[in-house]
Amino acid sequence: MYEKLLEYILENWDNTRRFNPEDTGIKIGMPYPYTVPCIQNKFNDMYYWDTHFANKGLILHGKVQQAMFNCNNMRYLINKFGFMPNGTNYTYRYRSQPPYLSMMVMDVYEVTQDKEWLAKSYRDLLKEYEFWMTHRITESGLNRYGSDSPAAHCVDFIQRFKRVPYDTKGTAQFLAHCFEAECESGWDFSDRFEQRGLEFNPVDLNSNLYIYEKNFEKMEEILGVSDGRNWAEIAEKRRRLMNELMWDKEIGIFRDYDYVNHRLSRTISAAGFHPYYADLADEDKKSGAAKLLKLLEADHGITCTPETDKLYFQWGYPNGWAPLQWIAVVGLTNVGLEADARRLCEKYLSMVYKNFETTGHIWEKYNVVTGDLNVVNEYEMPDMMGWSAGVFVAMHNYLYGQA
């Protein structure tokens, strides 16, 4: 049914490949060819969390070497900067993005079984993890997004975006750092953090770091480094904290935690599927996946936030982004709601394909309420491959067992 679009994606993966071994102006030279989100024009850097979802499609389409190259480039950047930047551009050198490299490494390793490569990757992943645990840790014991930008850069940032914060007591530099923290979250911009991005423990970030800790446990066992017991204990501590601090008892879902004011975020969001994606929810909290689905499911997929969110950020209602659809599918599957996961895949694939037939492209995001491209934008929306292509391939494989 979707062969035409699958062929388009397969034929165009190489058109998203760039090779830039030397620094050229603001672009960071990379030792290996890398994947960018767009075939041409906009977004011609390699972006961190975009590439994780693109790698899903690359691996399923047999382009494992390119997926490994993407991982190797990220390892190079970790060694260069001490963390994985937002993207391969010096303007991103002050912030990261949601950490997914350990998942990317395990995806590649499952295919190659290359223990020597895994051992090198493990060492570099530990360096990245150290960044999150030293530069992005809070007194709650959980992590936050942030920014290491100098003052001048931050003031310029707030002037560009002209957002009106909930709390205007902060300095311009503090507020700009909060906006940069939202950029690091990948949800630029949304209402999740109430324009105080430095003051929240995000549910998605901490879910990902839990996966890192569980992956380190697996890697140590595979490599014979140890039995991984230390990482199991670290992961269990995070799991307990998340189930305690991030659980909304009234609604029965996970939400971001405001560690400064000791309360949950005012905004319900699709990030709440991440604890199920990471398989960390207590048994009595697994029912929250179905409750969150009921709050966010539209005719064509998962919205970022419920319809009651009327601020209309691009990471809000009625937009649906590919990575959030996949996180929800995996999370629903992990709690035994495979029928719901399959329904979500079917409606999302159908919508993407319908728009492809109309426009000849796949797109960065979609209006999953109306099933078209009538979206809320922070900028002119590009046609793109990237995570839109990777998630389409992964969902097709989930439903039909083939890419």
Q: What is the pLDDT of residues 106-115, one digit of tens each?
A: 999 999 999 9
In this model, does residue 120 exceed pLDDT 80?
yes
Whether 130 has a pLDDT exceeding 60, the answer reads yes
The domain total for the chain is 1
Length of the chain counted residue by residue: 403
**pLDDT at 335 exceeding the cut of 90:** yes
- Domain of residue 381 covers 3-400
pTM of the full predicted structure?
Answer: 0.96
Question: How far is the C-alpha of 222 from the C-alpha of 115, rounded, in Å?
Answer: 8
What's residue 83's pLDDT? 98
Please report, rounded to a whole number, the percentage of residues in the chain having pLDDT higher than 90.
84
Tokens, residue 207: 């879910």
Q: What is the pLDDT of residue 159?
A: 60
HSE (CB half, 13 Å, CA atoms) of 241? Answer: 22
Residue 152 has pLDDT above 80, yes or no: no
Average pLDDT, the chain: 94
- Residue-wise pLDDT for 9-59, tens only, equals 999 999 999 999 999 889 999 999 999 999 987 899 999 999 999 999 999
Q: Check the CA dihedral 364-379-295-334 and report its sign.
A: positive
Q: How confident is the model at residue 166 (pLDDT cuts 50, 70, 90)?
A: very low
In what helix (H) or strand (E) does residue 365 lie, and over which residues does it extend? strand 365-367
Q: What is the pLDDT of residues 251-307, one digit of tens each?
A: 999 999 999 999 999 999 999 999 999 999 999 999 999 999 999 999 999 999 998
Give the CATH number of the domain where residue 148 resides.
1.50.10.10
Of 159 and 323, the structure prediction assigns the larger pLDDT to 323
Q: Comparing C-alpha atoms, which of 342, 399, 400, 392 is closest to residue 56?
A: 392
The residue ranges of DSSP E strands in 202-357, in sequence order, are 247-248, 253-254, 257-258, 263-264, 297-298, 301-302, 319-321
Question: Measuring CA to CA, which residue among 57, 59, 58, 84 is closest to residue 72?
Answer: 84
